[in-house]
Amino acid sequence: MEKEFNPFLVTGYKHADYFCDRKQETAQIKKHIANHINTTLFAIRRIGKTGLIHHVFNSYAKNKKIVCLYVDILGTKNLKEFTNELATVIYNRFPEHQGIGKKIIAGIKLLRPLISFDELSGNPQLSFDLSDSKRYEKTIQQLFLFLDSQNIQIVFAIDEFQQILEYPEKNTEALLRTYIQSLKNTHFIFCGSNQKMMHELFNNAKRPFFASCSNIHLDFIDKKIYADFIANMFHQNKRKISSQSIDFILDFTCCHTFYTQYFCNYLFASGGKNIQLHHVQSIALEILKLNENTFYQYRNLLTMAQWQLLQAISKEEKLYKAHSKAFITKHKLGTSSMVSRGIEALLEKELIFYNTSVETPYYETYDKFLMRWMQHK
Ligand SMILES: Nc1ncnc2c1ncn2[C@@H]1O[C@H](COP(=O)(O)OP(=O)(O)O)[C@@H](O)[C@H]1O
Ligand SMILES: [Mg+2]
């Protein structure tokens, strides 16, 4: 029997059919594109930033006037690697033998890249062997200008953009800003999962990108909408799932996209045709057991005090008053300054995050499965 397709994706993007909601954010980004405004996407990790970019791009799939380019620069360490990524993405996006593609490929080749083939995907990879970083700066500018002069509208998404802050070439930010500013037909979506660095890049008045983009904040998917989506995915595959079960899942994952997708993927794979509350409860325990090794690895990264604080925050679920006497004594956390230091460390290691997109901000454990596991301990 042919294996059934699991509609709950835990990596990448396939099709709008498997993508839940984000209607308003999609419309907003498209509006920016139509009005030639650059966008920055802010959100915590694994909530669906990258997915949303692909969803927006997918909506232009049949539009011949707009060309969408996506580059993830997380793996790049310097301006040279950034240039190589950029050139590779552009090169692979255009068919070599047709109209505009022909021109673009010929243009890129004038910059004399070395072309090799990726061992895994077999796709061409471009790299430049230039003598100094000034030449890479020039190459980036030429790539952008060349694309921009083709009389097509280009949307360029640069994911994990905060990575440029790690480059030894400290002027990267300023020069990209300058190049981008001069383009007429090319518009950008910047996105990144390190919120602190992204805010520093775009919301610090002293930095080049300040006020250059329109910000979109990506929040949790609405619970009711997610519940309908989950029910639909099961129903379309001739399976039943009780609404109590769906409520349990969305509570368990706090509606966080990745954890919800993971849970539903696992549940779907388990094959039940008529899913009831006790099924999802036992699946939840299975998932926690399966991830236990990862949780112990987290523990090795922390001091005992930090681990205890993380456990306390997990138990609270939403910690509004980190310095209150009640919280500190309830969990035997020592002094207020110890808690302060611990919170700094946990934020730095991205094991917790500070949710400021609500009226009263709070601290919360990032990994929802770790949070539930700690609550069980
Ligand atoms: N709206 C959505 N509906 C269904 N699945 C989604 C949605 N957004 C993201 N996902 C899935 O959740 C996971 C995490 O999303 P991703 O876009 O990688 O997060 P981020 O870029 O914010 O870290 C991915 O595997 C993706 O397939
Ligand atoms: Mg991402």
pLDDT score, position 308: 97
Determine what percent of the chain is predicted with pLDDT higher than 70.
Answer: 99
Query: Separation of 259 CA from ligand 2 center, angstroms?
Result: 14
Query: Separation of 51 CA from ligand 2 center, angstroms?
Result: 7
For 18-33, how does the pLDDT look when each residue is reduced to its tens digit (9 = 90+)? Answer: 999 999 999 999 999 9
pLDDT score, position 98: 72
**Looking at the predicted structure, is the pLDDT value of residue 306 above 90?**
yes
Query: Separation of 272 CA from ligand 1 center, angstroms?
Result: 24
| Stretch (H or E) spanning 323 | none
**Ligand 1 atom closest to 12 (CA):** 27
Q: Which residue's CA is the nearest one to ligand 1's atom 8?
A: 48
Q: Are strands 66-72 and 153-159 parallel, antiparallel or unpaired?
A: parallel
**For ligand 1, which residues put their CB under 6 angstroms from it?**
9-12, 19-22, 43, 45-51, 193, 257-258, 261
Higher per-residue pLDDT: 96 or 54: 54
Q: Which residue's CA is the nearest one to ligand 1's atom 20?
A: 46
**Ligand 1 atom closest to 13 (CA):** 27
User: DSSP string of 240-293?
Assistant: EE-HHHHHHHHHHTTT-HHHHHHHHHHHHHTT-SEE-HHHHHHHHHHHHHHTHH
Count of CB atoms within 10 A of residue 311's CB? 20
For 73-116, how does the pLDDT look when each residue is reduced to its tens digit (9 = 90+)? Answer: 999 999 999 999 999 999 888 877 777 778 888 888 888 888 89
Among 93-102, 264-273, 324-333, which stretch is predicted with the lowest mean pLDDT?
93-102
Q: Which residue's CA is the nearest one to ligand 1's atom 23?
A: 46
* CA 187 – CA 212 distance, rounded (Å): 12
pLDDT score, position 133: 84
Query: Separation of 134 CA from ligand 2 center, angstroms?
Result: 30
Ligand in nearest proximity to the CA of 73: 2
Under 8 Å between Cβ of 129 and 80? no
Ligand in nearest proximity to the CA of 161: 2
Q: Is the pTM of this model over 0.85?
A: yes
DSSP state for residue 329 in the 8-state scheme: H
Alpha carbon distances (Å) from 155 to 20, 38, 109, 241, 332: 23, 9, 22, 40, 52
pLDDT score, position 292: 96
Residue with tokens 């998917």: 221
Sign of CA dihedral 143, 122, 65, 99: positive
Query: Separation of 301 CA from ligand 2 center, angstroms?
Result: 23
**Looking at the predicted structure, is the pLDDT value of residue 35 above 80?**
yes
List of domains in the chain: 20-217 (3.40.50.300), 223-290 (1.10.8), 302-376 (1.10.10.10)
Name the pLDDT band for 377 (thresholds 50, 70, 90). Answer: confident
| Stretch (H or E) spanning 28 | helix 23-34
For 193-246, how does the pLDDT look when each residue is reduced to its tens digit (9 = 90+)? Answer: 888 899 999 999 999 999 899 999 999 999 999 999 999 999 999 999 999 999
Query: Separation of 72 CA from ligand 1 center, angstroms?
Result: 15
Under 8 Å between Cβ of 21 and 227? no
Query: Separation of 20 CA from ligand 1 center, angstroms?
Result: 9
Q: Which of 261, 263, 368 to mutate to test the pocket of ligand 1 (most atoms within 8 A of CB)?
A: 261
**Ligand 1 atom closest to 47 (CA):** 22
Under 8 Å between Cβ of 83 and 139? yes
Q: Are strands 362-365 and 352-355 parallel, antiparallel or unpaired?
A: antiparallel
For 124-154, how does the pLDDT look when each residue is reduced to its tens digit (9 = 90+)? Answer: 899 998 888 888 899 999 999 988 988 899 9
Name the pLDDT band for 2 (thresholds 50, 70, 90). Answer: low
Ligand in nearest proximity to the CA of 49: 1
* CA 48 – CA 18 distance, rounded (Å): 13
User: DSSP string of 37-68?
Assistant: --EEEE--TTSSHHHHHHHHHHTTTT-TTEEE
pLDDT score, position 232: 97
Torsion on CA atoms 168, 173, 179, 184, rounded to nearest 10? 140
